[in-house]
């Protein structure tokens, strides 16, 4: 099996490439390097044994993708490439629809030309918006409140409609939409890791404060209806996330339509994350309490029981200190990201 990984030089995509290589697959990583890192690909080549090809190509370039799929005899696609900042999507919605939705259309057109039968899509819990209840299962109504969430939901709709058309034509196409919660942590071997510019994820932001890269971290709201007054979120380790992708890919058959929430099934509050970083790093840093941000629900966490029941997958990293420790090890050894 030859797998094309879009966004293969990014945080999650590079971890997928690493795991696929470890599992013995041939991999084509495609990334335009706008927010991905050539250094991640270079690091992965050290373990690839000639089974990793890389192309600096935009996922919106349909003709280039067709050529690459033919050249590398691709039969499965894992699609991670996307812009993923909620706030940025509110400021620049058309950019998000162009990059996330329109580019996915070009990718699907290339898949159609080649006859790809398996497609694993990196979706998001942001497609649910502000849910009526938690934990959230796959039947939770999808009502995004940001262009980012909507741009991903549109891709889910395209996949559904395309799969229906292929089924009617007698050429079944199998796909899965995996709805992520908060992805955290890094490769325990620190070969690759998390390097965003700007960095907005809570755990790396707090770690940067512990390293002295930031002078403080802010808690946005301390009066939520939660045990300690701060927001609660579900943090899934990136390696567990990729394990789920591998399990789904192996199970996916032409004609399948699968939807799974990927999380650990419990939440940690902002204060709990802060205390975890303090324990793991053994360092103090300044914490400032400030007002709530608009649109931040009090609690969001997954009900991952569907994928557990159907595929036997469950998260291995469930203790927050274990998740934070892998992130800390990466940032401590790479304080300037891949430039370290």
Q: What is the pLDDT of residues 196-231, one digit of tens each?
A: 988 999 999 999 999 999 999 999 999 999 999 999
- Could you give the CA distance from residue 247 to residue 294 in angstroms, rounded to a whole number? 37
| Percent of the chain as helix, strand, coil, to the nearest 5 | 45, 20, 40
H/E segment holding residue 176: strand 174-180
Candidate list 148, 162, 175, 260, residue with the active-site label: 148
H/E segment holding residue 29: strand 26-30
Residue 174: its pLDDT value, please? 98
Instruction: Of 239, 312, 313, 246, give the one whose Cα is nearest residue 1.
Output: 246
- The mean of the pLDDT values for the chain is 97
Q: Where are the domains of the chain?
A: 2-184+235-262, 202-233+266-339
Task: Tell me the CATH number for domain 2-184+235-262.
Answer: 3.40.50.720
Residue 330: its pLDDT value, please? 97
User: What is this structure's pTM?
Assistant: 0.97
Band of the pLDDT at 86, cuts 50, 70, 90?
Answer: very high
- Could you give the CA distance from residue 237 to residue 315 in angstroms, rounded to a whole number? 8
Arithmetic mean of pLDDT, 313-326: 98
Arithmetic mean of pLDDT, 39-48: 98
Instruction: Of 121, 155, 127, give the one whose Cα is nearest residue 140.
Output: 127
Residue 295: its pLDDT value, please? 79
Arithmetic mean of pLDDT, 188-203: 94
Concerning whether 148 is annotated as a catalytic residue, the answer is yes
Band of the pLDDT at 296, cuts 50, 70, 90?
Answer: confident
Band of the pLDDT at 340, cuts 50, 70, 90?
Answer: confident
Q: To which CATH superfamily is domain 202-233+266-339 assigned?
A: UDP-galactose 4-epimerase, domain 1 (3.90.25.10)
Residue 263: its pLDDT value, please? 98
Residue 100: its pLDDT value, please? 98
pLDDT digits (tens, 9 = 90+) for 251-289: 999 999 999 999 999 999 999 999 999 999 999 999 999
Residue 288: its pLDDT value, please? 98
């Amino acid at each position: 099996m030859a797998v094309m990984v879009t966004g293969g030089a990014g945080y999650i995509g590079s971890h997928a490439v690493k795991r696929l290589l470890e599992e013995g697959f041939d991999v084509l990583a495609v990334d335009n390097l706008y927010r991905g890192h050539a250094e991640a690909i270079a690091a992965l080549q050290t373990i690839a044994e000639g089974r990793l090809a890389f192309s600096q190509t935009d996922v919106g370039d349909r003709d280039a993708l067709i050529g690459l799929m033919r050249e590398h005899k691709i039969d499965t696609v894992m699609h991670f490439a996307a812009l993923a900042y909620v706030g940025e999507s509110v400021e620049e919605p058309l950019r998000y629809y162009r990059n996330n939705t329109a580019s996915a259309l070009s990718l699907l057109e290339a898949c159609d030309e080649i006859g790809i039968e398996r497609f694993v899509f990196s979706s998001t819990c942001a497609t649910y918006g502000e849910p009526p209840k938690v934990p959230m299962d796959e039947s939770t109504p999808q009502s995004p409140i940001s262009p980012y969430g909507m741009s991903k939901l549109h891709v889910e709709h395209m996949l559904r409609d395309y799969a229906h058309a292929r089924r009617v034509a007698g050429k079944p196409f199998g796909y899965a939409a995996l709805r992520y919660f908060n992805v955290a942590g890094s490769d325990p071997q620190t070969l690759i890791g998390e390097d965003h510019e700007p960095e907005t994820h809570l755990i790396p932001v707090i770690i940067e404060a512990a390293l002295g890269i930031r002078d403080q971290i802010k808690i946005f709201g301390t009066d939520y209806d939660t045990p300690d007054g701060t927001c609660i979120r579900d943090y899934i380790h990136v390696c567990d996330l990729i394990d789920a992708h591998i399990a789904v890919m192996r199970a996916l058959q032409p004609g399948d339509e699968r939807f799974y929430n990927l999380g650990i099934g419990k939440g940690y509050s902002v204060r709990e994350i802060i205390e975890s970083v303090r324990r793991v790093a053994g360092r103090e840093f300044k914490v400032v309490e400030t007002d709530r941000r608009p649109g931040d629900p009090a609690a969001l966490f997954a009900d991952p029981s569907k994928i557990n029941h159907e595929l036997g997958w469950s998260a291995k990293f469930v203790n927050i200190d274990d998740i934070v420790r892998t992130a800390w090890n990466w940032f401590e050894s790479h304080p300037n990201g891949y430039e370290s």
